[in-house]
Amino acid sequence: MVINKTAIYPGTFDPITNGHIDMLTKALRVFDVVILAVASITNKHTLFSIDERLELCKVATIGIENIRIEKYDGLTVNFAKKMNAYTIIRGLRNGSDFEYEQQMAMVNKKLDPKIESIFLIPDEKNIFVSSSMVKHIIESGGKVKEFVPECVEKALVNYYGFKK
């Protein structure tokens, strides 16, 4: 019997960064399929709409095999079950990430004991990259080319009205 190992990698992805791509490719070394689960409802104020975030994720991951990009709302564990994925991938950049993600993993486990959370650490060059940091840099007139895929850089420059 062949077991298809599917995991979800949930997030807001506002916008998707090279750090996210790093986590996605690491997860694909372990799982047959990774679903990039883009949260449509979030407690964060998003820069890009759900449709824009989905499109940026699709373009940013062109050429990466065995991924699916899906939008979801509601509880992540419910979406995972719906997708027959019982593993949630999360990235850890620092100690505060660990504390938050550990708490979320424990809550998810209470909601559904079959759900496991796997934590991955980004490569050194991406350890400090976050969507918030990228937005702060571009809002301040800085360049984000080394932190995001080209399609995201163009979308950010277009959004803020800066010239490259």
Active site residue ranges: 20, 44, 93, 131
Q: Using CA atoms of 136, 142, 146, 152 in order, give the dihedral in degrees to the nearest 10.
A: 60
Cα separation, 9 vs 91, whole angstroms: 9
User: What is the separation, in whole angstroms, between the first and last Cα of the chain?
Assistant: 53
Cα separation, 105 vs 90, whole angstroms: 9
Burial of 13 (0-12, 13-18, 19+ CB in 10 A): buried
Nearest to 156 by CA among 56, 58, 70: 56
